[in-house]
Every structure is written in structure tokens, then in C-alpha cells.
Structure 1
Amino acid sequence: MVWLFAIATGLIVANLYYAQTLIGPISRATGLDPGAAGLIVTLTQIGYCLGLLFIVPLGDLLENRRLIVTALLTTAVALLAASMTSSAHLFLFAALCIGLGSVAAQIVVPFAAHLSRPETRGKTVGKVMSGLLMGIMLARPVASLVADAFSWHAIFVLSAATTAALALLLRARLPQRQPAGGMHYFELLGSMWQLLKTTPVLRRRAAYQACMFGAFSLFWTCVSLELTGPYFHISQTGVAIFALVGVAGAIASPIAGHRADQGKSRSTTAIALTLGAAAFAMPLLIHSSRLVDLGVLVLTSVVLDMGVSANLVTGQRAIFALPAEIRSRLNGLYMALFFMGGALGSSLGGWMFAAHGWTGVLWTGLCFPLIALCVFATE
């Protein structure tokens, strides 16, 4: 079941990131202005945030398996619509809907925590989140390779078919889970504000990850533009290979989960945030030949992904240690808050790259983990 959960979350969340390395061809095909190209990623993340706030809490109220399957079928329809349109407005609306439906991944994660034993919950969540992070990281190279071989439309068609098949598989394999409930939908939503006010660990962990995910989204939104630009002049296949190397950062997830189970959350958080800052400092400090600069960027992608994944799992371990009956709402709040950071990072990244180039992107990215470290210093 852990393998199934890990693969499912990876396939679902990948839908949010296929467009990230295809911003150029999608913008040209839909007539989207280059300065507004970041909206392709930003609107998907905004849709995901809305789903986290208004759909994921239903995991504490409705039967979980049915909720997951419905969200996946909605995502499949939105992906198919995105593959067929040549209108910027319609594509952006489809991107918003893809984000909304992809929150199924965040109903699956608390499901896995619910089925696991308390003493190994961090390790289980770490393994499932490894699948999720592999999905995020593999989405970019897979999208680039498919776009190179066929066109950018093909990856959306392929993903629509995969998502629909996954919905049928999960309906057959997942056990039913009917929460105790006891409140209406609007009461459930109202309780989320109260949970945010009365759960300091949630606020703190969300602040750390919002900064880290902002840096992550900013980097991966802009790095493909830099790599395919005049300095590096790399093809989409080269971008795919670059993104594939970044997958190595996912190894930090189960390690961080295991350390959190041992009560080492604080030191793990400090290491993760420091890795985030170091990732952006390296290309700012090291300038040499084109080959060396490319090697530094590869190392930056791995170190940044390690920091983001370690911090994410440590935060979820802390949140899933809280009562099971509020777990979906806590997870929804946590993910929504840090995805807002991601949406801010991707939109800022597109604007900074257009206005100030790659150096401006790096300085902006460095600010995010430094802010997180300042917040962490008050813990």
C-alpha cells in the first residue's frame, strides 16, 4: 500500500509541473505575452491552493476513496482540455482546474498516515512524500522529452489518460474510509481558521515551507529559460537531462522522516533551510567558464531539492502527530499556505527574469530561505 500511495501521489502531483519547462512553446502556441508566461505555473498553483483550502478538508467529512476518484476524473478532463486549446485564456482556465483536481494527492497522504502505526508514521509519510517529490521532479524532464519527440500537446494527452487509469486503479484497490464527521461543510471550513489560530506548530512549519517552496518554484520556473537562452543554448532534451539530475534531491525525504521519528526535527529543519540558502549562494559566488557554470547550476538544483524535500517531510511529520480527526484540515492548511509561497515565487521569477535576468532571479531566490532562517531563529 505504501508503494501504491507513493506512485499515486507522484503521478497526481506531476500534473502541476508538466508545463514548467514548456513555458516557452506553450506561450508561443497560445499567444501569451513573455512577461506573463509565469502565469501558466502560477494559476496551476493558485488552483491547487484553492483545492487545498476548500476540497482537501472534505477528507475529514466525506468518504475518502470516492473523493479521490472524483478529483482525479476532474483533473483528467482539464488536462484533455489544455491539450486541445490554442487560446491563452482557455489554457490558463484549464491550468487552474488541473491545480484544483490535483489536490487528490493531499487526500492520499493523510490516508497513508491514518493507516500507518504512530511509531513509524514519519518514515511512512517520508516514503509517500518521496513518491510525490519524484513526481514533481520527473514531471519536468518527462514533459521536455515528450515535447521534443512529439509536441507540448502530447504530454497533456498522455497525462489525461494516465490520470483516468489511476482513478480506476485506486477505486479498485483503496479501502473505504468514512470519517466520523459530525459537522457541516461550512462549519468544517470555519474550523480551519480556528485551527490556524490555535496551532502554532502549523503556522511555523507552513512559514518555513512557504519560503522554501517559493525558492523552489522560482528556480524551476526560470532555469529552463536560462538554459535555453543565448548563454547555455541547451535544447529541450538537455533541459530534460538537467531536470532529471535534480531528482537526486528526493533521497532526503525518507532520511528526514526517519530523523523526525527520532526526535531530531529541529536540527533537520536547520539543515534543510541552510541547504536552501546555500543552493542560491553557489551560482552567485562562482563564475567561470560555461561548463563550470552549468555544473554549479546542476549542483544548485540537487541541493535545493534536498532542502525543500527534507523540510516538507519534517513539517508533515509534526502535523500528522496531531489528532487524526483534524488531520485532513491541518494538511490542507499546511499545503495551501506553502503553495501560496510557491505561487509567489513562480510569478516573481517570471517577472524578475524578464526585468533583471538570471542574476536578479538568484538574488530573489536567496531571499526566501534567508527569511525562513530568520523565522527559525525565533523558535
Structure 2
Amino acid sequence: MTTHELAPTALAAPAGHPVGATSPRPEAPIARPLLLLLAGGAGLSVASLYYNQPLLDTMARDLGASSSAIGAVPTLTQLGYAAGILLFGPLGDRLDRRRVVVAKLAALAVALLGAALAPSAGLLAVAGLAIGLVATAAQDLVPAAAALAPAASRGRTVGSVMTGLLLGILLSRVVSGVVGAHVGWRAVYLGAAAAVAALSVAVGLRLPPMPPGARARYGALLASIVRLARDLAPLRRAALAQAFLSVAFGAFWSTLTLALAAPPFRLGPVAAGAFGLAGAAGAAIAPLAGAAADRRGPEPVIRAGAALGVGSFAAIALFPGSLVVLVVATVVFDLGVQASLIAHQSVVYGLDPAARGRLNAVLVSAMFLGMAAGAAAASEVFAHAGWVGVAALGALAAATALAVRLAPTRRRDARDRRCIDAAAP
């Protein structure tokens, strides 16, 4: 597949006047302080989803809850995030994106405070649902960066913000585990609430106004998500491939602690948290993927990322008792997944600048559904086939993603241009 097949509308539009844009494309790159704010904001927002994972045992003991009752906390948090992406993602295409981000961050600070004060596991789970719904501010900051960046550096810019988001995912477990062990789990949420409140103020002051690309009713925008997913083949391919990579991602991280605690490793939760740093190393290299997508097109980057995933899991399956192989594979695998995601976002954001929020909702919803499916499948696989079985599952999922990207497709530029017009509410 060529770059023209991946992003026909962006390439077919006259220079400086992309299809669906409400204003000329920016020519100057984003100022570094603003780029750092966007990246840090994305990471801090999405980290709110993962603080609970290393703290579940502590929470259960403190609240007198069973393991099944406390398990509702991460479940409702992730479900809230998936629902928030679909329900609130289109708002950035209808309202000033800066106002949407500030409102979500303010609500997230309140939800985090509610979690810190929750007197029972049930109310903590409700707070988790609220956290998931409004932590989607992270997914508004990524298309905001894409909208502010010139076309020539969009991949690199999105890569930088995605690195912040992914570091937030990977480091949140480390931070919450360490802080929770020393000052308690409630302090984790209190600190996060204060940090997000400060972030809301900073974003309101520094992010420029971003007029919407659509003026349709909210219901029409939601309906257009379905039409975009139905009619845009590049969007469907991106969502499907990233979903399979996310199956591997969810399978790996949901069972890693169990694998490290078992023979031959026999390592505790601190070591498991340290693997978050190994994954962060892979994510830190990911901006190079955005630059590569700018230079060579996204397709080679996506295929290379999926191939790295296959190779990493194959190495784990072949050498399941090697800690060195596991560390290296963690770095390489995370690099591959994040590189593919960044390149996929470059593809998706080029399809229709006026619908970036809705396009992103399709891609990220598929990604989180893949993570949930991978985690659910891996728990069963680990129980019956152990760590080698999980590695095989990850390799199969990554290989399927690679097959999706290698499969031949027909040129559909003209049809996709018509579909974008039809999907516009």
C-alpha cells in the first residue's frame, strides 16, 4: 500500500487547504514549551487510569473488600475510558477543543479527589468509572497537536505527544506503587488530583483557541463515527491492525507480574514495576517513528513495528527463563507497538482534518478493546499454558496485525473522498 492509498484526502487537497479544514494548515512548528505541555498533559491524564493496578491489594485490605469487589475498580475505569472516547471524542470536532480539554481536566481532578476520599470499594469503583470517562482528555490533546503542527512535521509532533501519553501509562504503575508503599494509596489520588487541577489551569492559559471543524448536532456527530468507520477503508485497516497489537500489549502487561512471581524468576512487585521503566525506554524512542513516517510514509513504520512485536514474543517463547531476553523484548516490543500507533495516527489524522476527534475515537476505541480482550484471554492462557502460552498469544496477535498491513488492497482514493463528504454531518 502506498502513502496515497493511506491518506488520499490530505494528499489530494490543494496545498494549505486540506479537505474539511476550517483554516489554513499551520506552517510553523509548535513551540517546544507548548509541545511539552501537550505531551505531559496527555501522560498525566492517561496515568489516572493505571494508578489503581499496583494498589489493588492495599485498597482491598484498607476497605475490607474481596478480590472480586476490588476488581471492579480497574474494570469500570477501563470501560469508562472506552465509553468516554466514543461519547466525548466527537466534542472536539464540534466545540473549541481548548474548552473541551480544560473542562475534562477539571472534571478529572474532581473524580480523582473522589477516589481519594472513597469510603468503600463500591464508591471507589464509581469514582473509577468517572475517572475513565474524563481521562479521555489525553485523546483530545493528541489531535490538538496534530491540528497545530504543519503537515511536514505532523508525524514527529504526534509522536512526541504520544510518547508523553505512553510514558504516562508505563510510569504510572511505578509511581503509584512507590508512593502507595510509603504514604498510602489515598495519597496517590490526592497528589494526582492536585497535579491535574494545575494542568487544567496551564492548558487553559497556553493552548490557543481551536475553533471546531463541524457545527452539526452532537447526535449527528456520533452517527458520523459509524459512517466513517464503515466507509473509510484506511481507518478500518488502521483500527484492526492496532487492535491486534493491543491484544498482545494487554496480554503481556496483565500477566507479567504473575510470570515474574513464579519460577524461575521469583521476583516481587518492585521488580514488576521496574519493567515499566523498560517499557518506557521503548516508548521514549518512539518519536523517531513519527519522523520516519514523515520521511518514508507510515506503512513501512507500521509493518516494522508489528514485526518487532512478533520477534519479541517469539524470543520470550524460545527463552522463557531468561531475564535478559525478557527485558530486551519488553523494550523492543513496546517500541514496536508505539511506533505502529504513531504511524497509524498519522494515517488517520490525514484522512479528514475536520473529523480528527471522531477518527481518533474509532482508532483508540479499537485499541482499548484489544487491550481488554488481550488481558482477558491472557489470564486464561496463563492458567493453562503458562508464560510460554502468553508469549505465543502475543506473537500470534502481532503476526495478525502484520498480516492486516501486508494484505493487498484496491486503490480507493476516489471512493474515500466521496465517503468523507457523505460522513460529514
TM-score when normalising by structure 2: 0.82
Number of the residue aligned with 2:314: 281
2:304 to 247, 271, 284: 271
1:135 to 152, 164, 168: 168
Judged with a 3 Å threshold, the aligned counterparts in structure 2 of structure 1 residues 24 and 351 are, in CA distance, closer, same or farther, namely farther
Measure the CA separation in 1 of the matches of 2:226 and 2:37. Answer: 33
1:105-254 → structure 2 map (5 Å cutoff): 105-229=138-262, 231-254=264-287
Measure the CA separation in 2 of the matches of 1:186 and 1:328. Answer: 14
Number of the residue aligned with 1:378: 407
SS in 2 for 1:262: helix
Judged with a 3 Å threshold, the aligned counterparts in structure 2 of structure 1 residues 298 and 34 are, in CA distance, closer, same or farther, namely farther
Judged with a 3 Å threshold, the aligned counterparts in structure 2 of structure 1 residues 42 and 361 are, in CA distance, closer, same or farther, namely farther
- CA offset at residue 178 of structure 1? 2.2
Q: Does 1:25 align with 2:58?
A: yes
SS in 1 for 2:286: helix
Q: Does 1:301 align with 2:330?
A: yes
Measure the CA separation in 2 of the matches of 1:82 and 1:351. Answer: 30
Task: Please say which of residues 30-39 and 153-162 is displaced more in the overlay.
Answer: 30-39
Task: Please say which of residues 50-59 and 242-251 is displaced more in the overlay.
Answer: 242-251
1:14-53 → structure 2 map (5 Å cutoff): 14-30=47-63, 34=67, 40-53=73-86
* Letter of the structure 1 residue corresponding to residue 193 of structure 2: A
Measure the CA separation in 1 of the matches of 2:96 and 2:320. Answer: 55
Measure the CA separation in 1 of the matches of 2:362 and 2:171. Answer: 26
Q: How many residues align?
A: 375
Measure the CA separation in 2 of the matches of 1:228 and 1:151. Answer: 23
Q: Is the 8 A contact 2:95 2:212 kept in 1?
A: yes
1:10-89 → structure 2 map (5 Å cutoff): 10-30=43-63, 34=67, 40-85=73-118, 87-89=120-122
Task: Please say which of residues 233-242 and 158-167 is displaced more in the overlay.
Answer: 233-242
Q: Deviations over 1:66-91 (max 9, x none)?
A: 21111112222222222333533333
Number of the residue aligned with 1:255: 288
Judged with a 3 Å threshold, the aligned counterparts in structure 2 of structure 1 residues 224 and 257 are, in CA distance, closer, same or farther, namely same
- CA offset at residue 240 of structure 1? 2.6
Judged with a 3 Å threshold, the aligned counterparts in structure 2 of structure 1 residues 233 and 332 are, in CA distance, closer, same or farther, namely same
Gaps of 5+ in 2: 1-33, 409-425
Number of the residue aligned with 2:395: 366
Q: Is the 8 A contact 1:20 1:221 kept in 2?
A: no
2:134 to 97, 101, 110: 101
- CA offset at residue 172 of structure 1? 1.6
SS in 1 for 2:296: coil
Number of the residue aligned with 2:365: 336
SS in 2 for 1:138: helix
Judged with a 3 Å threshold, the aligned counterparts in structure 2 of structure 1 residues 31 and 282 are, in CA distance, closer, same or farther, namely farther
Measure the CA separation in 1 of the matches of 2:380 and 2:122. Answer: 19
RMSD over aligned Cα, in angstroms? 2.2
Gaps of 5+ in 1: none
* Letter of the structure 2 residue corresponding to residue 93 of structure 1: V
Judged with a 3 Å threshold, the aligned counterparts in structure 2 of structure 1 residues 350 and 160 are, in CA distance, closer, same or farther, namely farther
Measure the CA separation in 2 of the matches of 1:327 and 1:21. Answer: 34
- CA offset at residue 341 of structure 1? 0.8
Task: Please say which of residues 318-327 and 343-352 is displaced more in the overlay.
Answer: 343-352
Judged with a 3 Å threshold, the aligned counterparts in structure 2 of structure 1 residues 210 and 17 are, in CA distance, closer, same or farther, namely same
TM-score when normalising by structure 1: 0.91
Q: Select the structure of larger CA radius of gyration.
A: 2
Measure the CA separation in 2 of the matches of 1:355 and 1:285. Answer: 18
